[in-house]
Amino acid sequence: MPDQIREAGFFEAFAGEQGRLLQNILENVFDAVYIVDQDHRIVYWNKVAEEITGYRSAEVLGAKCGNGILNHVDADGVSLCDSNCPLRNALECGEQITSKAYAQHRSGTRFPVTTQVLPVKNGEGECLGAVATFKDISAEEDFRILQDKFNSVIKKYVSSSTFQNIIRQVHSGVDNKTQKRDLTIVFIDIVGFTSFAENSAPEEVVKMLNDFFWICETVINKFHGDIDKFIGDAVLAVFVDANDAVAASEKVLSVISQLNEVKMMEGRNPITIRIGINSGIVIQGDIGGTGRKDRTVIGDVVNTASRIQSESETNSIYISEATFFRLRSPGLFEFARQIVVKGKRDPVSLFRLQQNP
């Protein structure tokens, strides 16, 4: 900005050759630009500002932007002209201010803008006024809203860890790596679901599954776990900490028990479940073809957890010895029995959560 703007008024600066050059530049920039004096009165309004706001230069020169022009509000609809005006803040602090706001078009509609305000000072450091630029970000805002809606939908179909892995992959441009991880695997299955589904109305079947899955999702997330997948009428969940896995499983049993009391009073079938837990090294990676992949866990530990679940009693929690020795309070469990698992040389010891330890 030429020295004339610092030493003289804005109008005088635009009168000279340098002023005409400056004005020509401001008229051809891509952003809307306006200039105010010390009293916040508009002394310049470029063509882009006219196009974005609908206000002609002749309509706004000499007026204050808060007097029926722009009338910025924040995301909560609070007027910035009354409480947090970027122009006022820049003039008072003497520093550049950047903010997001919602401006008012001449037609009365509002649109999102990013605005930057730069105070203009003379040689003594006194503010003569300020230059404000703003940009209509409606397209970006629409895209953000669409992205949020898309993310919300996607999160319903993939686990939270898978979603985060996808986000990291998109940002980094690097495919997810297959890796070995030490995790605790939880299988939760509805007992007798096949028979129930064959003898019940479709709406009742879907209602039961939705109740069951909602409880599992809510509780597992609360205890820092992640639902790897829904398998028919079963849930496969993963936990970093075996203690969280057991605590979540206990809570699922408790909530389903409370739900069953309501179901029984309404004459509906209760939900009966079995829970099996195992811990150890699993392979976690993207499994599938080129068209569709599933970020999941595989391996002997996962298969054994599924087998433990199938060997469990109804409405109970069975865990492996590997999980048992990871618990802070293993005394809550009692030895149940040993089972032979295909592919394993030694039998697997099972421990059952005591009902009244």
**Residue 75 pLDDT class (50, 70, 90 cuts):** confident
- Most confident residue range from 55-69, 102-116, 170-184, 320-334: 320-334
- Lowest mean pLDDT: which of 42-46, 163-167, 267-271, 309-313? 163-167
pLDDT for the residue 308: 96
pLDDT, tens only, 314-353: 999 999 999 999 999 999 999 999 999 887 888 999 999 9
Q: How far apart are the first and last CA of the chain?
A: 79
CA 324, chain centre distance (Å): 35
pLDDT for the residue 88: 82
pLDDT for the residue 3: 41
pLDDT for the residue 82: 75
For the question of whether the overall pTM of this predicted structure is more than 0.75, the answer is no
Helix (H), strand (E) at residue 30: none
CATH number of 159-353: 3.30.70.1230
Residue 188 has pLDDT above 90, yes or no: yes
**Residue 7 pLDDT class (50, 70, 90 cuts):** very low
Residue 289 has pLDDT above 80, yes or no: no
| CA separation for the pair 53, 51 (Å, rounded) | 6
Residue 44 has pLDDT above 80, yes or no: yes
For the residues 73-92, what does the mean pLDDT come to?
82
pLDDT for the residue 173: 65
* Residue 258 φ/ψ, nearest 5 degrees: -65, -40
pLDDT for the residue 224: 92
pLDDT, tens only, 209-257: 999 999 999 999 999 999 988 998 999 999 999 999 999 999 999 999 9
pLDDT for the residue 127: 78
Query: In the chain, pLDDT over 70 holds for what percent of residues?
Result: 87
Task: Report the top-level CATH class of 3-142.
Answer: alpha beta
- Mean pLDDT, the chain, whole residue set: 85
| Domain range summary for the chain, segments of one domain joined by + | 3-142, 159-353
How many helices, marked H, and strands, marked E, lie in the chain? 13, 14
* Residue 133 φ/ψ, nearest 5 degrees: -120, 145
Q: For tokens 């009692």, name the residue.
A: 334
